[in-house]
Amino acid sequence: MDDTSEQLEEDWNNVKTGKIDPKFKYEIMRMPGAEKVHLCFQCGTCTADCVIAKFTDFYRPRKIARTIQLGLKNRLIGNEALWLCTTCHTCIDHCPQGVEVSSIIRALRNISMKNLGTMPSIYKIFASNILKCGYVYLMPESRMKKRQEQGLPPLPKPNLNDIEKLFQATGFTMTLEKTKTTENEITEGAN
């Protein structure tokens, strides 16, 4: 166990009751996809198979589930580590309890954005790219040419009017306007 992990274990064992929000778990369980967080029995499969946890100590999906169960809301809301999840869904495929970890992380991101009015700048860039071209990434002409050379079919043409309507109808356009950006500062709590 390294120093960071030891410190975390110590923190974990010294949770002060005043820092616990007993309603937090239920708040999360009301959000679509996050209903089963209470079923997590801490086997650690999600962390072992997580593509991000392999590269950083700052991100541990198993501990995110435990932190919710313990009601330690302040450790999670606004924690930039939440934005590291790639939404690859490997954790969902492998969880023996059917806990949808990536959906839980999406719920935590939504609460963070709502409460703090911030998101990492890269997500704003992704969103504006979707509005501009229908994809999170503005595909350079050279990449398109490469696809053609490789015999790949042209990319589907997104309906930008529909995308804009969807952004408006869901309130996401307004959210994007109001939300400030943060730099990625990883803090203790989701690890």
Residues that bind ligand SF4 (CB under 6 A): 40-46, 50-52, 61-62, 65, 85-91, 95-97, 99, 101-102
Q: Which is nearer to ligand SF4, 32 or 154 (CB)?
A: 32
Distance between CA atoms of 89 and 65, rounded to whole angstroms? 15
- Minimum separation from the CB atom of position 51 to ligand SF4 (A): 5
Q: Which is nearer to ligand SF4, 91 or 127 (CB)?
A: 91
* Contact indicator for 190, 82 with CB cutoff of 8 Å: yes
- Minimum separation from the CB atom of position 166 to ligand SF4 (A): 23
- Minimum separation from the CB atom of position 57 to ligand SF4 (A): 14
Q: Which two tokens stand for residue 19?
A: 């820092």
Q: Which is nearer to ligand SF4, 66 or 147 (CB)?
A: 66
Residues sharing a CB contact under 8 Å with residue 183, sequence separation 6 or more, in sequence order: 120, 121
Question: Which candidate, 29, 168, 166, 146, places its Cα nearest to that of 99?
Answer: 29
Q: Which is nearer to ligand SF4, 45 or 179 (CB)?
A: 45
Q: Determine how many CB atoms are found less than 10 A away from the CB of residue 159.
A: 11
